[in-house]
Structure 1
Amino acid sequence: MGLVKKLQSLALLGVALQGLAFDFDFPQADIDSGRALQQLGETARDAALARLEASPSSTCTKESVRMRKEWRNIPGEERKAYVKAVECLMESPNVYPNVTGPKSMFDSFGVLHYYLTPYVHNSAYFLLFHRLYIWTYEEKLRTLCGYTGAFPYWEWGLDAGGVEKSPVFDGSETSMGSNGEYVENPGNPFFGRGTGGGCVKEGPFKNYTVNFGPNTSRTPLVPNPRCLKRDLNTQICAQWASLRNTTETIIESPDIALFQANLQGDYRWPEARKWGFAVHGGGHFSIGGDPGGDFYFSPLEPAFYLHHGQIDRMYFIWQNLDWENRQTMAGTITMMDMPPSRNGTLDDVLDIKPVGGSYTFRQLLDTVGGSPFCFVYE
């Protein structure tokens, strides 16, 4: 039967389902193929919808809940509409005053991420900040640009055999654009080099201009127009963002501290060291390039939001497999606790104005709680 993974006592909330639990017993072949992840995802989705049915709110019901979908499960015309909405954000006004580089609302999300990076990575805030961040991005696509389709995520492991062939990056009109032109370069000393490195050569965002950055600049918020570069890297995807990595990260994480450590490869936890760059780094550096490989400015890469959609999907699954015990937070409020800082709490306030709103982290725990979210993953 191979290596067996067991997840026990998965409680669903709601009076009608009280006491119901599941045991998962997966052969290694099911973990490696994605069958186990599909089962976990379906169980988590059904648990969330059962909670919603038992306790609908004025802003979230089973009729109004949105279903987020993997990119290749979205019809082609809807994918093209999503790209058009992103291009619309790239033409909408920047909302940050006193900066000269950012030109658009799309750029404003890059400014926000730049400012908050030291507090929302390898910290208590990582998962819930990014949940609010990509939801706010989705809301801008809808309210400013009229997008009505599903919000996409990218399940990296489906492309661990060849990122260049992925429907996300194949350069077709229903993709997020292609790899970059091949250029001779040594690549990143930590991640090696991919198969591109130059400007995106085909499909959507071929002519997109990155307006500012990189983080290594002495003045990263001043104008620095350049093409979008990608350096797709299948080796990184296969090693750090496979279906096996994703699934085992979920089922080998009994609490929030270890889950977010395993997700990010946080070496402060001995159990997390085996994951290396982990799925978070693996997804980012499967794309690579500029700004995709820039820790601070990676949201200026349009595919960033599909990558972090998958990160939030993992969090959604993990939470809803044991909802009663997974409405928690762990860690301090600075990256890697540098400088040393207090522990984060669910009553801390996350204010992302002028891009979005202000909420306590407690309000961000439940994607079907109506405050402010109303979505599940397929």
Structure 2
Amino acid sequence: MLPRLLPLLVLALNALAIPTASEKLDSRANAACTNPTVRKEWRSFTDQQKQDWIAGIKCLGSLPHDPSLFSVLPPPGQPFLNKSSTFYDDLVYLHIDVYPVIHFVGIFLPWHRWFLDLFEKNMRGKCGYTGPMGYWDWSLDADDITGSSIFDSNPVTGLGSFGPQSNGFHLTDGAFSDFILAYPKPHTLSRNFSDTPFALGRLQPTPWIVDEPNTSAKTVITPERVNKLVTGHTGDFVKFYTNLDSPEGFHTTPHLMVGGDMSDAAQSVNDPLFWLHHGQLDRMWWMWQNNHPSNKNAFGGGTIPGVLTKLTFDLFPAGMPPLAHKLTPLPNDNFGEHKRVRDLMDTEGGFLCYVYE
């Protein structure tokens, strides 16, 4: 397994070196945030807002590939850039291309906060979406995950349920049942629920970092555990992030329990649930940041994933040296604005301008 992951380490080092040139960084001063938008839980959207949000994603899926997206070499085992795909597929591919350097490292939360903002700005700018951005508070569903209304089968306002085995777990209901995705090859959206996803080995390509493979998803995503995390680890970003993104933690568990496209670490953006799940993770960081003054600007971690072996991961769950810092640039494949960690620390800092309800 170790030789298989060595190319990821090389890619990580290369990706960190590429965007460091000062001319590639957006040096504009952030504007004042005087009227922040409010991000809402999906179930508080009106039917019209749900319909509009879904239509916005489908709009992005109808627009052509953006030639500014640039990839030199995809990560091992991942597809090459498909220039005949759609703008939504570009968002998927960006995540595929940089995933070795944005997971299990210090920039995980800032990068995904930037990615959510990129998604929002294109929904609004390219597709005229005017409604709220959202999140999925899966802690509300811990007692009955598959029975959650988030998996609504309505063909206009529903995100769809789970695909039947007879259809290869591809969706047959909801508004995205006919949504064609380009990566890794053309297909429709799939979901395949499991309450014990770690036992199925879904955490690829690094299943060896799992300590408790029989963990039940419903025991991970409880309101009590969320509250304990966002009110704990005062001033210690590394411990907060490590607990949020532990192998059997709040990030990986919803991804893997939903299954299908969501369970692929790189290609999970295929499922629109990705944006709502990561909205929840960003909300948890926002809640933690606002829980204590010493949390607001706390940051740390490494820049190289420690997943080469179980030992390196146990020693460096938030990434190995060199250390990340607030001037660390966020990799973006020349897609969207070039930003550093410091630009994403405050959701009301000017570059960003939003709060959570």
Gaps of 5+ in 1: 1-56, 184-195, 214-223, 267-276
Does 1:375 find its partner at 2:337? no
Aligned partner of residue 140 in structure 1, secondary structure:
helix
Larger radius of gyration: 1
Contact 1:114 1:297 in 2 (8 A): yes
Separation (CA, whole Å) in 2 of partners of 1:178 and 1:355? 32
2:96 pairs with 111, 114, 117, which one?
A: 114
2:245 pairs with 258, 264, 289, which one?
A: 264
Does 1:170 find its partner at 2:140? no
Contact 2:256 2:263 in 1 (8 A): yes
Aligned partner of residue 333 in structure 1, secondary structure:
strand
Structure 2 counterpart of 1:331: 301
Separation (CA, whole Å) in 1 of partners of 2:165 and 2:293? 46
Q: CA 1:233/1:76 → structure 2, altered by over 3 Å: closer, same or farther? A: farther
User: Which residues of 2 match residues 161-240 of structure 1 at below 5 A?
Assistant: 161-172=143-154, 173-183=156-166, 198-213=169-184, 224-233=185-194, 236-240=216-220
Range moving further from structure 2, 112-121 or 89-98: 89-98
Separation (CA, whole Å) in 2 of partners of 1:358 and 1:243? 35
Aligned partner of residue 279 in structure 1, secondary structure:
coil
Deviations 1:285-344 (A, max 9, x none): 23111x211011111111100000000000000001113443122111111275953001
1:73 pairs with 37, 44, 49, which one?
A: 44
Contact 2:328 2:341 in 1 (8 A): yes
Range moving further from structure 2, 160-169 or 334-343: 334-343
User: Which residues of 2 match residues 242-253 of structure 1 at below 5 A?
Assistant: 242-253=222-233
Separation (CA, whole Å) in 2 of partners of 1:294 and 1:75? 30
Q: How many residues align?
A: 286
Superposition RMSD in Å: 2.1
Deviations 1:192-242 (A, max 9, x none): xxxx961111111101122122xxxxxxxxxx2122110134565412212
Separation (CA, whole Å) in 2 of partners of 1:180 and 1:248? 34
Does 1:128 find its partner at 2:101? no
Contact 1:180 1:201 in 2 (8 A): yes
Structure 1 counterpart of 2:4: none
| Structure 2 residue identity aligned to 1:82 | W
Q: CA 1:163/1:264 → structure 2, altered by over 3 Å: closer, same or farther? A: same
Contact 1:176 1:203 in 2 (8 A): yes
Separation (CA, whole Å) in 1 of partners of 2:249 and 2:229? 9
Separation (CA, whole Å) in 2 of partners of 1:102 and 1:346? 36
Q: Displacement of 1:101 after TM fit?
A: 6.6
Q: Displacement of 1:252 after TM fit?
A: 3.1
Aligned partner of residue 133 in structure 1, secondary structure:
helix
1:60 pairs with 33, 40, 56, which one?
A: 33
Structure 2 counterpart of 1:364: 344
1:312 pairs with 273, 279, 282, which one?
A: 282
Contact 1:101 1:212 in 2 (8 A): no
| Structure 2 residue identity aligned to 1:297 | Q
| Structure 2 residue identity aligned to 1:326 | K
Range moving further from structure 2, 324-333 or 137-146: 324-333
Structure 2 counterpart of 1:33: none
Aligned partner of residue 288 in structure 2, secondary structure:
helix
Separation (CA, whole Å) in 1 of partners of 2:90 and 2:103? 19
Gaps of 5+ in 2: 1-29, 72-80, 197-215, 313-319
Range moving further from structure 2, 93-102 or 111-120: 93-102
Structure 2 counterpart of 1:347: 327
Range moving further from structure 2, 96-105 or 173-182: 96-105
Separation (CA, whole Å) in 1 of partners of 2:326 and 2:53? 33
Identity of aligned residues (%): 29
Structure 2 counterpart of 1:279: 250
Q: Displacement of 1:97 after TM fit?
A: 5.6
Contact 1:163 1:169 in 2 (8 A): no
Separation (CA, whole Å) in 2 of partners of 1:282 and 1:209? 25
Q: CA 1:302/1:227 → structure 2, altered by over 3 Å: closer, same or farther? A: same
Q: CA 1:308/1:302 → structure 2, altered by over 3 Å: closer, same or farther? A: same
Separation (CA, whole Å) in 1 of partners of 2:190 and 2:178? 11
Structure 2 counterpart of 1:300: 270
Query: Scaled by the length of structure 2, what TM-score is found?
Result: 0.75
Separation (CA, whole Å) in 2 of partners of 1:182 and 1:160? 24
| Structure 2 residue identity aligned to 1:68 | R
Q: Displacement of 1:115 after TM fit?
A: 1.6
Separation (CA, whole Å) in 2 of partners of 1:336 and 1:114? 19
Q: CA 1:295/1:138 → structure 2, altered by over 3 Å: closer, same or farther? A: same
Query: Scaled by the length of structure 1, what TM-score is found?
Result: 0.71
